[in-house]
């Protein structure tokens, strides 16, 4: 009797455990072919590419423990899948769903194609706590505001049966398949290998690393999360976002482990609300599929954004002359990640003090963040710009000096990423331009030589931004 063979298509679920599509498939077939398809026409940032390469290698290594491998392909998914099912007798096909318009359109087409070939195709939720259509208000409509969305979602999750699964009983395919590539043949680390290697030196990548990081976070950091999360000069964030983005760990695993911990309730709920924001971002993306390009609030289509390539490049390089902003941009380029509080500060500075389009920041983050998530990134930037469904009011303009003094009071975060400011006393660390010539001489520091002068006046640019907002609101 021939083995019943199924295919699991890995996408952003690069893990064996807590993978609902993989688990369900294992109940239907005798042998699973684990495939990954790299689509060249899908935009992926440079930082994400180098993480992806290591994550695929990690998954391949886990599969080797089953005497199998990750079957990697490159090209058009429909054509590749067609070729595989021509060569093999396939009973069932599974994947975990994605929620952007391209993935939805592609997946519907492939699912229809498989059905015509008499192959059972089942899809599941392995990426979110709850899918967009599962969380509705009392009128049956989707939520446009985060707080009521998360309240409804959280209550739903408390009452939901949670299926966590292990991979120890899976049986994976062991034979060769035509057109399979080695992972390094995808050339994901070209052409910025030196930068990528330096960035990756800060991270452990893969499913096992993600589970270990969650455990350490719960045991050593979660107890102070509600206040510590806002301090870039301390280490109380989980840094699980890239693992979550690539699906090396499931959001359900995070929710379950956090909820069963003995940590004070306010810290648990505050952390889980951040995972909830990710769900909310995909809720918005599902119902506003164009939000990656267009403002959700249509009035922002006539906002007088400026076009200043010089200021944009200066912002990207972390040379604006505003220490907390520059430290954030240096951190981003150094490790492919940025503290969330600082993300809001640098975003506000770009969109409101420089009056540059939020899309410019969204593109740069997408290229340089290892957790560059299409839903969270675009929703976050629209929130910062004030153009989102549930956005920060446009008149809320972060003062980077006050933000720095409040959340990096000794300037330790700034000093870490801008060594030239190391000799500056705390009093001036967030505003070195306030030092007199005599004070600069005292500390052997020259503004404009050791550190740039501010490229804009914060008070003037704040007024300019408010005036621009008034014009589109009239």
> Do 275 and 399 fall within a single domain?
no
pLDDT in the model for residue 1: 52
Would 154 be classed as within a structural domain? no
Do 237 and 305 lie in one domain? The reply is no
Instruction: Say whether both 276 and 377 belong to one domain.
Output: no
407 and 311 within one domain: yes
- Whether residue 362 lies inside any domain: the answer is yes
**Among 124, 144, 171, where does a domain finish?**
124
Mark whether 273 and 302 lie in a shared domain: no
CA 122-125-127 angle, 5° bins: 135
Say if residue 410 is in the same domain as residue 389: yes
CATH number at residue 269: 1.25.40.80
Q: Is residue 171 part of a domain?
A: no
The reply to whether 163 falls in a domain is no
CATH number at residue 401: 1.10.579.10
Strands (E), 148-307: none
31 and 109 share one domain: yes
Q: Which domain holds residue 270?
A: 194-287
43 lies in some domain:
yes
C-alpha 388/C-alpha 202 separation (Å) is 33
CA distance 13 to 6: 17
Q: What is the pLDDT of residues 213-265, one digit of tens each?
A: 999 999 999 999 999 999 999 999 999 999 999 999 999 999 999 999 999 99
pLDDT, tens digit, for every residue of 419-471?
999 999 999 999 999 999 999 999 999 999 999 999 999 999 999 999 999 88
End position of a domain, from candidates 235, 254, 287: 287
141 vs 133: CA distance, rounded Å = 9
Supply the pTM of this predicted model.
Answer: 0.96
Phi-psi region of 318 (alpha: psi -120 to 50; beta: other; left: phi over 0): left
Answer yes or no: are the C-beta atoms of 429 and 297 closer than 8 Å: no
Same domain, 331 and 458: yes
| Residue 460: per-residue pLDDT | 97
- For residue 169, being part of any structural domain is answered with no
The answer to whether residues 249 and 338 touch, using CB atoms and an 8 Å cutoff, is: no
Question: Into how many domains does the chain fold?
Answer: 3
Domain boundary among the residues 264, 287, 310 is at 287
Tens digit of pLDDT at every position of the chain (474 positions)? 568 999 999 999 999 999 999 999 999 999 999 999 999 888 899 999 999 999 999 999 999 999 999 999 999 999 999 999 988 899 999 999 999 999 999 999 999 999 999 999 999 999 999 999 999 999 999 999 999 999 999 999 998 877 788 888 899 999 989 889 999 999 998 767 788 889 999 999 999 999 999 999 999 999 999 999 999 999 999 999 999 999 999 999 999 999 999 999 999 999 999 999 999 999 999 999 999 999 999 999 999 999 999 999 999 999 999 999 999 999 999 999 999 999 999 999 999 999 999 999 999 999 999 999 999 999 999 999 999 987 777 778 999 999 999 999 999 999 999 999 999 999 999 999 999 999 999 999 999 999 999 999 999 999 999 999 988 887
CA separation for the pair 120, 138 (Å, rounded): 35
Whether residue 10 lies inside any domain: the answer is yes
The half-sphere exposure of 464 on its side-chain side, counting CA atoms within 13 A, is: 16
> What DSSP character marks residue 373?
-
Query: Domain of 78: which CATH number?
Result: 3.40.50.620
- The whole-angstrom separation of Cα 401 and Cα 426 is 12
Residues 269 and 416 in one domain: no
The H-or-E segment that residue 58 falls in is helix 46-64
Same domain as 248, residue 305: no
| List of residues 6+ apart from 422 with CB closer than 8 A | 415
Rounded to whole angstroms, the Cα distance separating 112 from 116 reads: 6
Provide the phi-psi class of 444: left if phi over 0, else alpha when psi is between -120 and 50, else beta.
Answer: left
Q: Are residues 280 and 216 in the same domain?
A: yes
Cα separation, 60 vs 49, whole angstroms:
16
- Are 6 and 31 in contact by the 8 Å Cβ rule? The answer is yes
Identify whether residues 369 and 420 lie together within a single domain.
yes
Q: How many angstroms separate the CA atoms of 200 and 193, rounded?
A: 10
Q: Would residue 170 count as lying in a domain?
A: no
């Amino acid at each position: 009797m021939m083995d019943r063979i199924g295919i699991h298509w890995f996408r952003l679920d690069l893990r064996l455990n807590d993978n609902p599509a993989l688990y369900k498939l294992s109940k239907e077939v005798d042998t699973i072919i684990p495939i990954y398809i790299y689509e060249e026409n899908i935009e992926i940032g440079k930082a994400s590419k180098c993480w992806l390469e290591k994550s695929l290698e990690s998954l391949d290594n886990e599969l080797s423990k089953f005497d199998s491998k990750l079957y990697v392909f490159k090209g058009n998914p429909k054509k590749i899948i067609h070729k595989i099912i021509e060569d093999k007798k396939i009973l069932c096909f599974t994947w975990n769903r994605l929620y952007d318009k391209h993935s939805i359109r592609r997946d519907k087409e492939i699912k229809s194609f498989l059905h015509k070939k008499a192959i059972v195709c089942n899809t599941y939720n392995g990426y979110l706590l709850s899918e967009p259509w599962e969380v509705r208000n009392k009128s049956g409509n989707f939520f446009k505001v985060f707080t009521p969305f998360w309240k409804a979602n959280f209550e739903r999750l408390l009452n939901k049966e949670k299926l966590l699964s292990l991979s120890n009983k899976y049986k994976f395919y062991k034979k060769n398949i035509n057109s399979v590539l080695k992972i390094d043949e995808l050339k994901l680390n070209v052409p910025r290998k030196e930068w990528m290697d330096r960035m990756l030196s800060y991270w452990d990548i893969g499913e096992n690393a993600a589970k270990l990081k969650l455990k350490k976070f719960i045991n050593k950091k979660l107890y102070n999360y509600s206040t510590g999360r806002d301090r870039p000069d301390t280490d109380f964030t989980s840094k699980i976002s890239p693992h979550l983005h690539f699906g090396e760990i499931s959001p359900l695993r995070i929710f379950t482990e956090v909820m069963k911990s003995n940590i004070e309730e306010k810290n648990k709920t505050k952390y889980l609300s951040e995972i909830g924001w990710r769900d909310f971002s995909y809720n918005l993306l599902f119902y506003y599929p164009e939000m990656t390009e267009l403002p959700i609030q249509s009035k922002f289509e006539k906002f007088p954004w400026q076009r200043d390539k010089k200021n944009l490049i200066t912002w990207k390089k972390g040379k604006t002359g505003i220490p907390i902003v520059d430290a954030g941009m240096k951190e981003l380029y150094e490790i492919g990640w940025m503290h969330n509080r600082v993300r809001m500060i640098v975003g506000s500075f770009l969109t409101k003090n420089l009056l540059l389009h939020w899309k410019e920041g969204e593109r740069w983050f997408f290229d340089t963040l290892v957790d560059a998530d299409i839903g969270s990134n675009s929703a976050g930037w629209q929130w910062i710009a004030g153009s989102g469904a549930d956005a920060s009011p446009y008149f809320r303009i972060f003062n980077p000096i006050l933000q720095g003094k409040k959340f990096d009071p000794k300037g330790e975060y700034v000093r870490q990423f801008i060594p030239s400011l190391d000799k500056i006393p705390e009093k001036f660390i967030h505003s070195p331009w306030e030092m007199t010539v005599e004070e600069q001489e005292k500390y052997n520091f020259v503004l404009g030589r050791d550190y740039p002068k501010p490229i804009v006046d914060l008070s003037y640019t704040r007024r300019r931004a408010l005036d621009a907002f008034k014009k589109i609101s009239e």
